[in-house]
Amino acid sequence: MLRQAIEALRTGDRAHARDLLTRLLKADQKNAECWVWLSAAVDSPKERLYCLQTALQLDPQNSAAKRGMILLGAMPPDDSVSPFPVNRPRRWEQQLAISPDAQDKLVGWANPLTRVFIILGITVVVLGLALGGYLLFPRNARPTIPVIPTPPPSATTSPTPTDTVPPSLRTATPTFNGPTPLWMFLDRTYTPTPLYVITTHPITSKSAFEAGLRFLAARDYKNALALFQQAEGLEPSAPDITYYIGEIYRAQGSYRAALDEYQQAIKKDANFAPAFLGRALANLALNPKADVSNDLNAAISLDSHYTDAYLERGMYQLSSDPTSAETDSNAAISNSPGSALAYLDLADAQLALSQNDAASLPRSTPTSLT
């Protein structure tokens, strides 16, 4: 696997090399050689420095790690550290290299020595002819060539086709003449709520975690689940990875499996607010009449700026307590003024309270909906 990773680096496939090296380090995190090679597969200088420092801690005499630290400016230059060895032919050397058998077969112009002698011979002949001409024709006897003045070029006019349309008369780009789209009434168009969990992860699990987020955003749940499970194996104590696995199961309709993942995330970190919200949503999916108020209250208690928790609690208590639903919707708007769902939930609460005029009137906020 290490040889495959090195070959992937040489061919420029850094993502594949990073995946192989990460798997190797999962099995043996004290392998200094793998850390050195991983420094060539990561993206940022900070990650490269971390890999090299780890390799140097595991093997203080590792010359490759020292050379990398020197190149990154993390260590002063050291003459005792030998330069990088070239233990394989470079590509341009392989392309230019000529085998001994082929050299023996070079004849005529293909032979470099023959070319040199031919060029020298032509040079000698040309110089000899020039010198002979100078001696045969003295300066006074050499014929002169009359200079014939060349008249300046006259201006010519090219007829312009009559069917050519001048630039000023060309048809302009057609404009849209229909009704103004509703989104143009907004100062800022609606964008989905950003991911709640923005955490840092070590180099061993970072690549798999970030790739899982990308696949999750694209609703490619199969690949997202595989990457998050890989990241969880590399970092088993991270609650956010387990939470996202639960989110995938809930999006696929596997509410029992999602509930197990949310509970595991809460065991890993009892202060992780999204896991409580996820557990409430999974229980509601299994039983729409379930009492999930404790989990919803816990999510908001742990994070008073958690917009999604306010929205879900407001929807949950809309039929039984529309006044509290209105309060939660206003709190969601206060935390996320750009959330269209918050305004929609507020309008539903106002309708439940028979405040029809307030529900239909446009808001004066920067992102008011008309």
CA distance readout (Å), 282 to 279, 285, 289, 293: 5, 5, 12, 13
Of the candidates 355, 320, 365, which has an alpha carbon nearest to the alpha carbon of residue 342?
Answer: 365
What are the tens digits of pLDDT across the range 110-139?
667 777 778 888 888 888 787 776 666 555
pLDDT confidence of residue 102: 57
CB 268 within 8 A of CB 242: yes
Predicted confidence (pLDDT) per residue in 41-96, tens digit: 888 888 888 888 888 888 888 888 888 888 887 778 766 666 655 555 555 555 55
| Cβ(24)–Cβ(1) below 8 Å | yes
Structural domains present in the chain: 2-71 (1.25.40.10), 203-360 (1.25.40.10)
pLDDT 10s digits, 212-232: 899 998 999 999 999 999 999
Distance CA 364, CA 19 (A): 51
Band of pLDDT at residue 369, cut at 50, 70 and 90: very low
Query: What sign has the CA pseudo-torsion 66, 70, 75, 81?
Result: positive
